[in-house]
Every structure is written in C-alpha cells, then in structure tokens.
Amino acid sequence: MWTEVALKTHLGPDIAQSNRNIRRLLHLAQASKKDVFYDLGCGRGQLCIIAVSDGVRHAVGIERLKSRAKKAEQRVRHLGLSRQIEIRNEDFYDSDLYEATIAYNGLMEDFESLQFYEQSLKRECRLVTLSMPLVGVMPNSQDYPFYLMKIPFRKARSVSQWVQTVLSQKMPVKDFFKEIAEDPDYWTDIRTLKALIRRRFR
C-alpha cells in the first residue's frame, strides 16, 4: 500500500493546466459527445470537469493519491456531475481503461508505458501526452505542449526521426538531451529519458 509521502515522489510535478489549455487538448483529440475521456492522474479532477462541460459523454479520473481523489470526488458532487464523472482512487496501471476513446497522461512515462497502453487501450483510442510523445512513437497530430497518438502506435524509424518530431528540427541526439535538460518546459528526468531511448531503439 502506498503512503501519502511515498506517493508524492511518484506523481511528477503538480501541473495545473488552465481551462484554455484543457480545451486545446480536447480540440486536438477532436472530442465529441460520443467520447469517453480518461484522465490518468487526474489530481482534483479539473480535466474531467471541463471535458464533460464541453460535451463528452462520460469522463473517468484516476488518481493514486487518496487526498487528491477525495478532493476530486467532492468537486464532482458539488457540481452535480456524479452521473457523468467517475473518480477512481487507484493506480491507473491497475485500472480498466478499455472504455476510453480519449486518454490523457501528463506524467512522465516509464519503461512499461508503451506495452501497457498498447494492451490496455482499444484500437483507435487517442492518447494525449504532455511535453513530448511517447519515446519512439510518432504522433498523429500535435499542438505543443500536447501530442496525440492513436492505437496502434506508429513507431519512429530512428532516434533522429523521433527527436526531430519532438523539437521540430533536426538535431544530434546529444544536443537533444542538452536542450531538454536546459528547457524548463521539459520536466522529464534525463537519465530515464536516455534509458527509454536506448531500450526503444536497440
């Protein structure tokens, strides 16, 4: 069982997306009344609230930290959206994601992410990530800082092709790491990123 203190070191930065950026995310995903939106790491539930307010059929927020999940549930009840929004206090790796037609994850990926998404999300599900696409995956569309990838993923042919997609310019891989390390918009851990690239392109 995760403790509150231990969880805080695994949740990434507390990024509060503005409503304007949330709507950019939904526009990129071409969200409609037919969609079921999943926020993988929902915090206080703001993305789910805006998603249903803007017309998606249903939203599910998954939050591992108990205090945040409780706050999200309280906000959903207060707004009278309990029938449209479900909040789950659990690790999204242990959650059933198959109903999702749009999924968002603003946290840093780990070594299991690629296989997990391919196995857990159904075909044509739109996965949106923050700051960069999944390592080794070519986005179907992008509106920085958001990247959209559809299941099944389109894999990059080379590290260079993927790096060019992330930075919108050709750049040696060693310079790419320097660029990422120096730019505050990219909060990815460089050691983890290097390890992911080695694994995905070996």
Q: What is the pLDDT of residue 168?
A: 84
Identify the domain containing residue 37 by its residue range.
Answer: 4-155
Q: What is the pLDDT of residue 187?
A: 66
Q: What is the pLDDT of residue 17?
A: 66
Q: Is residue 121 part of a domain?
A: yes
For residue 1, pLDDT beyond 60: no
Q: Is residue 169 part of a domain?
A: no
Distance (Å, whole) CA 176 – CA 10: 25
The total number of structural domains that make up the chain: 1
Q: Is 146 exposed, middle or buried (0-12, 13-18, 19+ CB in 10 A)?
A: buried
| Mean pLDDT value across residues 187-201 | 88
Q: Is residue 107 part of a domain?
A: yes
For a pLDDT cut of 90, what percent of the chain falls above it?
69
Give 31-64 pLDDT, tens digit per residue. 999 999 999 999 999 999 999 999 999 999 999 9
Q: Which residues contact 136 (CB under 8 A, 6 or more apart)?
A: 114, 155, 156, 162, 196, 197, 200, 201
Q: What is the pLDDT of residue 10?
A: 40
In this structure, what CATH number is given to the domain that contains residue 19? Answer: 3.40.50.150
Q: How confident is the model at residue 94 (pLDDT cuts 50, 70, 90)?
A: very high
- Token reading at 51: 């998603």
| Mean pLDDT value across residues 135-159 | 96
Q: How confident is the model at residue 25 (pLDDT cuts 50, 70, 90)?
A: very high
Q: Which residue has the tokens 């851990």?
A: 189
- Token reading at 148: 């959209």
With 0.95 as the threshold, say if the pTM is over it. no
Q: Is residue 23 part of a domain?
A: yes
Distance (Å, whole) CA 123 – CA 74: 33
Distance (Å, whole) CA 165 – CA 167: 6
Q: What is the pLDDT of residue 3?
A: 35
For residue 100, pLDDT beyond 70: yes
Q: What is the pLDDT of residue 184?
A: 74
Q: Mean of the per-residue pLDDT values for the chain?
A: 89
Instruction: Look at 115-124, 154-163, 180-189 and tell me which has the smallest mean pLDDT.
Output: 180-189
Q: Is residue 172 part of a domain?
A: no
Q: Is residue 22 part of a domain?
A: yes
For residue 158, pLDDT beyond 80: yes
Q: Is residue 14 part of a domain?
A: yes
Give 68-79 pLDDT, tens digit per residue. 999 999 999 999
Distance (Å, whole) CA 120 – CA 198: 24
Q: Is residue 181 part of a domain?
A: no
| Mean pLDDT value across residues 150-174 | 92
SS (H, E, C) the chain: CCCHHHHHCCCCCCCCCCHHHHHHHHHHCCCCCCCEEEEECCCCCHHHHHHHHCCCCEEEEECCCHHHHHHHHHHHHHCCCCCCEEEECCCHHHCCCCCCCEEEECCCCCCCHHHHHHHHCCCCCEEEEECCCCCCEECCEEECCEEEEECCCEECCCHHHHHHHHHCCCCCHHHHHHHHHHCCCCCCCHHHHHHHHHHHCC
